[in-house]
Structure formats: structure tokens, C-alpha cells
């Protein structure tokens, strides 16, 4: 996991040493194994639920993002904006929903439109563990349906994904933001209450109440907490339609055995949310960035962006945070390092290793070998370091009767055994099947 994001950017100090910009990080093997597994787990689950992959550009016209949250920090303060050489005002994607809605409005696919995505996101935040200036999200969106069953399905997709990864110390927080009929009355009541009770909190408080009182519900300032805690709750102001929708979502979750905590003060960071909102938090992470993912309905956004009325819901998951949470879970089930089935050792030196490695790879196995005519001893060292499950040695003695020698590299006391060469691929494939059963979910 990325460390040291707080350090001074070394490039500022010594121009001859390039480092990744502050708040970004490289993902290198073998850590990237966990990364691929998270992505593949999500992709598998999304496919099972009938979602197709959508890929949108890393940058969009600035206005696309301005539509999603004029009053949110992500849009106001944290966007990477720039002019291209043609004078267009563009921004790097700070969040994934607006581009998907832009693509929907542009292409008008048939609804329900069920899509998932994997994309880098950019926010100029103060970097710390679990909070980066470039982070990666997996997300899913369903456009064109207001049925509460879809809310349940989307939450179940996220829930199942975390479970597939073996994450246990997570909680689902659930709230409803109401609809266009419920929100204004609540916002007015909340604003009046906050101005009334927070009169002594000064100008900043006042300005924030005026701008968007909802955002204050998750303000962290200790001296404001008493007043915020006693504020009226949105769920008390839900219209009949919103209340019924929210009740059905809860029933659906209970029917699937998905536990949730009603959290009236859950305020998600974008203006587009309506009705159901949710967040998955991990008890393995610091409270300031414990959200492993979150989302909700955004029933007005397509219209706001020039499309037809299209009730929609989705969520995004932070890959880096999932990896941190996973490493912190007691029964850490991360795959261990390399996934090579075999490392081929050539003790004859006549090019046979090239052929054998090619044969194994064509048979669907992961095989590697040494290069540059290394000594047999050096090849054994490389085999050990490769993390391969088995070393497969081609020696003169074995070659005489068209056999290979095999050694289990995870068993230090393991002895070599011999196998007819034509049986090798099948034998390795069978071992791979066994391993797949031992570590469910580790396969991709």
C-alpha cells in the first residue's frame, strides 16, 4: 500500500530524482495481484447481475461536473481543471456518475441501462492514508428505473462484492434524502433550526447554513455537534411516496438478509442525490476515511443534463480503501504473491526450456523461466524467488525417457518426483484446480 504520501515531493527538492506526484502512487507486482483480484471480483459479480462495462473519457467538459455539485467541495475546490490547446475548458474526472449520465444522454440507450465501470478519479485533496489525489473506483449505475427493487439489487451487488473478498468488518449505513416534494420543506426547517440554535457559532457556520444546510449534518467541528445532533431529521419529512419507497427498500434488504443501520445524518458529498443513499464503512479503517464505497439515487440528474426523466441509482467503491481494509481484516485472504504454476529449469541448455514453457502456456498454465544461459543453481534461486508453485526441471537423465522432474517449491523438505512429460500439463492443471478450491475467490 502506498506510504509516505505526506512526504515533501522529492522532485521539489532534487530535480534529478523523479517521483510520482504527491497524493498518487504506483501499484507494483506482487501487490498488483490483489488489485487485479478486486477488479475481477467486481467484474464477475457485475456480469452475474446483468451489468455491461462502460468506458468514458478521463476528462470531460468542465460543465459536466459542475452540474453534479456546485455546492460540494469536490467540484468547487478539488477539481483538476485545465484548458486544452483548442481553448476548451476541461476537467479530469473527480467522480464517476456525471460521465455515465453524460454518455446516457448522448447515446440514449434503451432502459434499464445497467452499467459498471473501472476508472481513475482525481481530487485535489490533502493526501493521507486512504485519501489520494488520484484514486481508482469501481462503480455501477442503473438508469431508467424507479422500482425500489433496483435499489435493493444495487446494494446487494456491492454487498456481495465485499463478501466475495472476505471483508467482514463492514457495516451498511442507509438513509433517504427524500424526493423533490420532501426536500424543500426539510431544508427550510433545518436551515431555520440551525440559524436559531447556532447563532453564536460565527460567520463560517452562518455562511454554510445559508449555502447548503444539509452539508452541515456531517460537519466535524466538536463545538457544533450538540446542535447538529438535535437537528430535525430528513426521514421525518419524507413525502408519502418517498417514505413508501424507503420502506420497500428496507424490506427488500431484510428479505435478502442484508443488515443495515438507519443513519439519518448520512450526507453524501454530491448535490444530485435523491431518495435512497447508502455507504459501506469498514471498522478496520480510520473514521475519517472509513467509507469503502457509497452511492444512492439521483432521479433528477439525467434531466438536469438535458436528457429525458430517468430515475437512476448507483454506487462507487474505492479500490485502494478496499485493499487497505482487506489487509487489516483478521483472516486476511489476499492471494500470496505470484500466481505462476511452474518455473521451468533447463539443466541441459539446448533450448528445451523455451519449448516446455511455450507448451505449458498454450495449455493455459502460468509458466516462467530464466534467460541468458544461467547456471542450474542460479535457475533454482530464481525459481524460489518467482513464487511459482512448482519447479519443473529438464535434466539429461529425465530427458532420456522423455520425463521431467518436479519439485513443490512451497514444501522446503519436498523431494523431487518424476513425471512423463506428456502428463505434465494435465498434472499441473489438476493442482491448480485443488488450489482454487482451497482459496475460493482467489481465482481470476
Number of residues in contact with ligand HAM, rule: CB under 6 A? 26
| Contact track, ligand HAM, 279-298, x by CB under 6 A | ------------xxxxxx--
Query: Within positions 297 to 316, which residues make up the interface with ligand HAM, using CB under 6 A?
Result: 314-316
Residue pair 202/362 in contact (Cβ under 8 Å)? The answer is no
Distance in angstroms (rounded) separating the CA atoms of residues 134 and 93? 10
| Contact string (CB under 6 A) for ligand HAM, positions 115-154, x = contact | --------x-x----xxx--x-x-x-x-------------
DSSP summary character for residue 133 = S
Which range touches ligand HAM (CB under 6 A), out of 92-100, 163-171, 329-337, 372-380? 92-100
Task: Confirm or reject binding of residue 69 to ligand HAM (CB under 6 A).
Answer: no
State the residue for C-alpha cell 522423455. 402
Residues 93, 129, 245, 321: which binds ligand HAM (CB under 6 A)? Answer: 321
Of 159, 167, 176, 135, nearest to 274 by C-alpha is 176
The least CB distance from residue 420 to ligand HAM, in Å, is: 51
Q: Tell me which of 56, 72, 97, 310 binds ligand HAM, using CB under 6 A.
A: 97
| Closer residue to ligand HAM, CB minimum distance, 132 or 237 | 132
Closest CB to ligand HAM among residues 140, 424:
140
Minimum CB separation of residue 302 from ligand HAM in Å reads: 12
Query: In sequence order, which residues have a C-beta less than 8 Å from that of residue 82 and are 6 or more positions away?
Result: 89, 90, 91
Q: Which of 2, 34, 96, 99 binds ligand HAM (CB under 6 A)?
A: 96
- Size (the chain), residues: 444
Residue 98: Cβ within 10 Å count: 26
Cβ–Cβ under 8 Å, residues 113 and 50: no
Among 112, 160, 232, 269, binds ligand HAM (CB under 6 A): 269
Distance (Å) of CA 84 to CA 59, 75, 91, 121:
11, 19, 10, 19
Q: Which residue is nearest to ligand HAM (CB)?
A: 318
Shortest distance, CB of residue 244 to ligand HAM, whole angstroms? 22
CB 116 within 8 A of CB 53: yes
Residues 352-391 that bind ligand HAM (CB under 6 A): none
Q: Please, which residue, 163 or 432, has the CB nearer to ligand HAM?
A: 163
Residues in CB range of 12: below 8 A, 6 or more apart:
none
Which of helix, strand or coil describes residue 174? strand
Distances (CA, A) of 195 to 22, 222, 228, 231, 267: 39, 17, 11, 11, 19
Residue ranges that bind ligand HAM, judged by CB under 6 A = 95-97, 123, 125, 130-132, 135, 137, 139, 141, 269, 291-296, 314-318, 320-321
Amino acid at each position: 500500500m502506498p506510504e509516505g504520501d505526506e512526504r515533501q515531493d522529492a522532485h521539489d527538492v532534487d530535480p534529478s530524482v523523479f517521483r510520482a506526484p504527491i497524493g498518487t502512487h504506483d501499484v507494483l507486482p506482487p501487490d498488483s495481484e490483489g488489485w487485479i483480484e478486486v477488479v475481477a471480483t467486481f467484474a464477475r459479480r457485475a456480469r452475474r447481475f446483468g451489468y455491461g462495462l462502460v468506458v468514458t473519457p478521463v476528462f470531460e467538459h468542465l460543465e459536466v461536473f459542475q452540474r453534479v455539485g456546485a455546492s460540494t467541495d469536490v467540484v468547487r475546490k478539488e477539481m483538476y481543471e485545465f484548458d486544452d490547446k483548442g481553448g476548451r475548458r476541461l476537467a479530469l474526472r473527480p467522480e464517476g456518475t456525471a460521465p455515465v449520465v453524460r454518455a446516457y444522454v448522448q447515446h440514449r440507450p434503451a432502459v434499464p441501462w445497467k452499467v459498471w465501470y473501472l476508472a481513475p478519479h482525481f481530487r485535489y485533496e490533502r493526501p493521507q492514508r486512504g485519501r489520494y489525489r488520484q484514486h481508482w473506483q469501481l462503480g455501477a449505475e442503473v438508469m431508467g428505473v424507479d422500482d425500489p427493487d433496483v435499489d435493493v439489487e444495487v446494494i446487494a451487488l456491492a454487498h456481495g462484492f465485499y463478501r466475495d473478498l472476505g471483508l467482514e468488518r463492514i457495516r451498511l449505513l442507509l438513509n433517504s434524502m427524500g424526493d423533490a416534494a420532501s426536500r424543500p420543506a426539510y431544508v427550510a426547517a433545518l436551515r431555520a433550526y440551525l440559524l436559531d440554535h447556532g447563532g453564536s457559532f460565527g460567520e463560517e457556520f452562518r455562511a454554510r447554513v445559508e449555502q447548503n444546510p444539509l452539508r452541515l449534518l456531517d460537519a466535524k467541528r466538536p463545538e457544533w455537534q450538540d446542535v447538529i445532533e438535535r437537528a430535525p431529521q430528513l426521514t421525518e419529512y419524507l413525502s408519502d411516496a418517498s417514505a413508501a419507497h424507503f420502506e420497500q427498500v428496507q424490506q427488500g434488504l431484510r428479505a435478502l438478509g442484508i443488515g443495515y443501520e438507519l443513519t439519518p445524518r448520512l450526507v453524501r458529498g454530491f448535490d444530485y442525490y435523491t431518495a435512497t443513499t447508502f455507504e459501506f464503512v469498514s471498522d478496520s479503517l480510520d473514521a475519517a476515511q472509513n467509507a469503502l464505497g457509497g452511492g444512492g439515487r439521483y432521479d433528477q440528474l439525467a434531466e438536469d443534463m438535458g436528457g429525458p426523466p430517468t430515475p437512476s441509482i448507483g454506487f462507487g467503491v474505492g479500490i485502494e480503501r478496499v485493499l487497505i481494509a482487506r489487509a487489516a481484516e483478521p483472516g486476511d485472504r489476499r492471494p500470496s504473491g505470484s500466481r505462476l504454476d511452474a518455473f521451468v529449469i533447463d539443466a541441459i541448455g539446448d533450448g528445451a526450456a523455451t519449448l516446455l514453457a511455450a507448451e505449458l502456456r498454450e495449455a493455459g498454465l502460468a509458466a516462467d523461466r530464466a534467460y541468458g544461459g544461467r547456471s542450474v543453481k542460479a535457475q533454482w534461486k530464481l525459481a524460489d524467488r518467482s513464487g511459482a508453485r512448482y519447479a519443473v526441471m529438464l535434466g539429461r537423465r529425465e530427458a532420456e525417457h522423455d520425463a521431467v522432474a518436479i519439485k513443490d517449491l512451497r514444501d522446503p523438505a519436498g523431494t523431487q518426483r518424476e513425471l512423463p512429460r506428456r502428463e505434465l500439463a494435465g498434472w499441473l492443471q489438476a493442482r491448480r484446480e485443488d488450489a482454487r478450491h482451497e482459496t475460493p475467490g482467489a481465482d481470476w
